[in-house]
Amino acid sequence: MRTAAATEDRAVTASPDIPADLDPEWLAGACLGGHLPAAVEQHLRLAGLNYPNDALAENHLFQAQALAPGHAAVLIALYRFYFYKGRLGDALEVGERCLLKAARDNRLNEDWRQVQRGDAAFSSYDAILPRFYLFTLKACGYLQMRLGRLEMSHDILAKMLELDPSDKLNATVLLQVLARHGKEDEDD
Protein backbone atom coordinates (compact mmCIF):
# COMPACT_ATOMS: atom_id res chain seq x y z
CA MET A 1 0.00 0.00 0.00
CA ARG A 2 1.40 3.40 -0.97
CA THR A 3 1.49 6.12 1.60
CA ALA A 4 0.67 9.77 0.99
CA ALA A 5 4.35 10.56 1.47
CA ALA A 6 5.33 8.03 -1.20
CA THR A 7 2.80 9.55 -3.57
CA GLU A 8 4.13 13.05 -2.88
CA ASP A 9 7.69 11.82 -3.40
CA ARG A 10 6.64 10.43 -6.79
CA ALA A 11 5.17 13.80 -7.71
CA VAL A 12 8.36 15.55 -6.73
CA THR A 13 10.88 13.12 -8.23
CA ALA A 14 9.64 10.80 -10.95
CA SER A 15 12.98 9.12 -11.50
CA PRO A 16 16.40 9.63 -10.00
CA ASP A 17 17.68 10.83 -13.38
CA ILE A 18 14.69 12.82 -14.69
CA PRO A 19 13.06 15.79 -12.96
CA ALA A 20 9.34 15.15 -12.37
CA ASP A 21 8.25 17.88 -14.76
CA LEU A 22 10.25 16.30 -17.62
CA ASP A 23 9.38 12.64 -17.01
CA PRO A 24 6.97 11.55 -19.78
CA GLU A 25 5.06 9.19 -17.46
CA TRP A 26 4.64 11.92 -14.84
CA LEU A 27 3.58 14.45 -17.49
CA ALA A 28 1.08 12.01 -18.98
CA GLY A 29 -0.45 11.54 -15.52
CA ALA A 30 -0.59 15.29 -15.05
CA CYS A 31 -2.42 15.67 -18.37
CA LEU A 32 -5.04 13.33 -17.00
CA GLY A 33 -5.41 15.32 -13.78
CA GLY A 34 -2.92 13.45 -11.63
CA HIS A 35 -0.39 14.85 -9.20
CA LEU A 36 -2.64 17.63 -7.95
CA PRO A 37 -2.29 18.83 -4.37
CA ALA A 38 -5.46 18.36 -2.32
CA ALA A 39 -6.05 22.14 -2.09
CA VAL A 40 -5.99 22.44 -5.88
CA GLU A 41 -8.41 19.54 -6.27
CA GLN A 42 -10.69 21.22 -3.74
CA HIS A 43 -10.68 24.52 -5.66
CA LEU A 44 -11.43 22.72 -8.93
CA ARG A 45 -14.27 20.85 -7.26
CA LEU A 46 -15.66 24.08 -5.78
CA ALA A 47 -15.38 25.79 -9.17
CA GLY A 48 -17.55 23.04 -10.64
CA LEU A 49 -20.07 23.17 -7.81
CA ASN A 50 -20.32 26.95 -8.15
CA TYR A 51 -20.41 26.99 -11.95
CA PRO A 52 -23.64 29.07 -12.11
CA ASN A 53 -21.95 31.83 -10.08
CA ASP A 54 -19.37 33.08 -12.59
CA ALA A 55 -17.36 35.22 -10.18
CA LEU A 56 -17.13 32.57 -7.46
CA ALA A 57 -16.32 29.72 -9.87
CA GLU A 58 -13.68 31.79 -11.65
CA ASN A 59 -12.18 32.81 -8.29
CA HIS A 60 -11.76 29.14 -7.36
CA LEU A 61 -10.12 28.48 -10.73
CA PHE A 62 -7.72 31.37 -10.16
CA GLN A 63 -6.88 30.04 -6.69
CA ALA A 64 -6.20 26.59 -8.18
CA GLN A 65 -4.02 28.24 -10.80
CA ALA A 66 -2.08 30.15 -8.14
CA LEU A 67 -1.39 26.90 -6.27
CA ALA A 68 -0.52 24.86 -9.38
CA PRO A 69 0.47 27.28 -12.13
CA GLY A 70 0.83 25.60 -15.47
CA HIS A 71 -0.69 22.26 -14.37
CA ALA A 72 -2.59 20.78 -17.31
CA ALA A 73 -5.66 19.89 -15.25
CA VAL A 74 -5.99 23.47 -14.00
CA LEU A 75 -5.49 24.92 -17.47
CA ILE A 76 -8.06 22.53 -18.94
CA ALA A 77 -10.57 23.42 -16.22
CA LEU A 78 -10.06 27.13 -16.88
CA TYR A 79 -10.33 26.58 -20.64
CA ARG A 80 -13.60 24.64 -20.26
CA PHE A 81 -15.06 27.24 -17.94
CA TYR A 82 -14.43 30.02 -20.44
CA PHE A 83 -15.52 27.91 -23.40
CA TYR A 84 -18.85 26.87 -21.88
CA LYS A 85 -19.49 30.39 -20.62
CA GLY A 86 -19.10 31.62 -24.22
CA ARG A 87 -16.00 33.64 -23.37
CA LEU A 88 -14.20 32.43 -26.47
CA GLY A 89 -11.43 35.04 -26.44
CA ASP A 90 -10.51 34.03 -22.89
CA ALA A 91 -10.75 30.35 -23.83
CA LEU A 92 -8.39 30.94 -26.75
CA GLU A 93 -5.87 32.69 -24.50
CA VAL A 94 -5.87 29.68 -22.16
CA GLY A 95 -5.77 27.33 -25.16
CA GLU A 96 -2.65 29.10 -26.41
CA ARG A 97 -1.07 28.70 -22.98
CA CYS A 98 -1.95 24.98 -23.12
CA LEU A 99 -0.37 24.75 -26.57
CA LEU A 100 2.84 26.31 -25.30
CA LYS A 101 2.85 23.91 -22.34
CA ALA A 102 2.18 20.94 -24.62
CA ALA A 103 5.02 22.01 -26.91
CA ARG A 104 7.41 22.23 -23.97
CA ASP A 105 6.22 18.93 -22.48
CA ASN A 106 6.78 17.22 -25.85
CA ARG A 107 10.07 19.07 -26.40
CA LEU A 108 8.67 20.60 -29.59
CA ASN A 109 9.30 23.96 -31.17
CA GLU A 110 7.13 26.52 -29.37
CA ASP A 111 5.96 27.85 -32.75
CA TRP A 112 3.37 25.31 -33.93
CA ARG A 113 4.14 26.26 -37.55
CA GLN A 114 7.64 24.80 -37.13
CA VAL A 115 6.58 21.44 -35.64
CA GLN A 116 7.10 18.47 -37.98
CA ARG A 117 5.37 15.09 -38.14
CA GLY A 118 8.46 13.19 -37.01
CA ASP A 119 8.95 15.35 -33.92
CA ALA A 120 6.58 13.19 -31.82
CA ALA A 121 4.33 10.11 -32.08
CA PHE A 122 1.34 12.15 -33.22
CA SER A 123 -0.45 9.20 -34.86
CA SER A 124 -0.33 6.96 -31.78
CA TYR A 125 -3.37 6.63 -29.55
CA ASP A 126 -1.06 5.55 -26.74
CA ALA A 127 1.14 8.65 -26.87
CA ILE A 128 -0.73 10.85 -24.40
CA LEU A 129 1.51 13.92 -24.60
CA PRO A 130 1.49 14.19 -28.42
CA ARG A 131 -2.28 13.67 -28.38
CA PHE A 132 -2.62 16.46 -25.81
CA TYR A 133 -0.66 18.67 -28.22
CA LEU A 134 -3.02 17.75 -31.09
CA PHE A 135 -6.14 18.26 -28.96
CA THR A 136 -4.83 21.67 -27.98
CA LEU A 137 -4.13 22.55 -31.62
CA LYS A 138 -7.66 21.47 -32.49
CA ALA A 139 -9.14 23.64 -29.72
CA CYS A 140 -7.16 26.66 -30.90
CA GLY A 141 -8.15 26.06 -34.53
CA TYR A 142 -11.80 25.70 -33.60
CA LEU A 143 -11.78 28.85 -31.48
CA GLN A 144 -10.06 30.81 -34.23
CA MET A 145 -12.90 29.71 -36.53
CA ARG A 146 -15.57 30.70 -34.00
CA LEU A 147 -13.90 34.09 -33.59
CA GLY A 148 -13.99 34.65 -37.37
CA ARG A 149 -10.25 34.25 -37.92
CA LEU A 150 -10.77 31.80 -40.75
CA GLU A 151 -7.32 31.86 -42.32
CA MET A 152 -5.62 31.23 -38.98
CA SER A 153 -8.11 28.46 -38.23
CA HIS A 154 -7.38 26.82 -41.58
CA ASP A 155 -3.62 27.02 -41.04
CA ILE A 156 -3.85 25.43 -37.57
CA LEU A 157 -6.18 22.64 -38.68
CA ALA A 158 -4.06 21.93 -41.76
CA LYS A 159 -1.00 21.66 -39.48
CA MET A 160 -2.91 19.24 -37.29
CA LEU A 161 -3.66 17.05 -40.32
CA GLU A 162 -0.04 17.32 -41.46
CA LEU A 163 1.16 16.09 -38.06
CA ASP A 164 -1.34 13.23 -37.99
CA PRO A 165 -2.36 12.24 -41.54
CA SER A 166 -4.39 9.35 -40.07
CA ASP A 167 -6.64 12.14 -38.69
CA LYS A 168 -7.43 10.45 -35.39
CA LEU A 169 -8.82 13.71 -34.00
CA ASN A 170 -10.93 14.58 -37.06
CA ALA A 171 -9.26 17.75 -38.26
CA THR A 172 -10.86 17.12 -41.67
CA VAL A 173 -14.34 17.55 -40.18
CA LEU A 174 -13.46 21.06 -39.00
CA LEU A 175 -11.71 21.82 -42.30
CA GLN A 176 -14.93 20.82 -44.10
CA VAL A 177 -16.98 23.10 -41.84
CA LEU A 178 -14.49 25.87 -42.54
CA ALA A 179 -14.72 25.26 -46.30
CA ARG A 180 -18.53 25.54 -46.14
CA HIS A 181 -18.39 28.74 -44.11
CA GLY A 182 -20.44 31.36 -45.90
CA LYS A 183 -21.48 29.06 -48.76
CA GLU A 184 -24.95 28.48 -47.30
CA ASP A 185 -25.67 32.18 -47.87
CA GLU A 186 -24.45 31.94 -51.47
CA ASP A 187 -26.77 29.02 -52.22
CA ASP A 188 -29.90 30.96 -51.24
* pLDDT above 90 as % of the chain: 70
Give the pLDDT of residue 183: 73
* Whether the predicted pLDDT of 9 surpasses 60: no
Do 122 and 134 meet the contact criterion of CB atoms below 8 Å apart? yes
Give dist(CA 164, CA 124) in Å, integer.
Answer: 9
In 3D space, the residue among 143, 135, 138, 139 whose CA is nearest the CA of residue 158 turns out to be: 138
In 3D space, the residue among 103, 108, 110, 33 whose CA is nearest the CA of residue 75 turns out to be: 33
Per-residue model confidence as pLDDT tens digits over 145-156: 999 999 999 999
More confident residue, 6 or 96: 96
Per-residue model confidence as pLDDT tens digits over 62-101: 999 999 998 999 999 999 999 999 999 999 999 999 999 9
CATH assignment, 4-187: 1.25.40.10
- What letter represents residue 109's amino acid? N
Q: What is the DSSP string of the chain?
A: ---HHHHHHHHH-SSSSS-GGG-HHHHHHHHTT-S--HHHHHHHHHHHHTTTSHHHHHHHHHHHHHHSTT-HHHHHHHHHHHHHTT-HHHHHHHHHHHHHHHHHHTT--SSGGG--GGGTTTT-TT-HHHHHHHHHHHHHHHHHHHTT-HHHHHHHHHHHHHH-TT-TT-HHHHHHHHHHTTHHHHH-
Q: Where are the domains of the chain?
A: 4-187
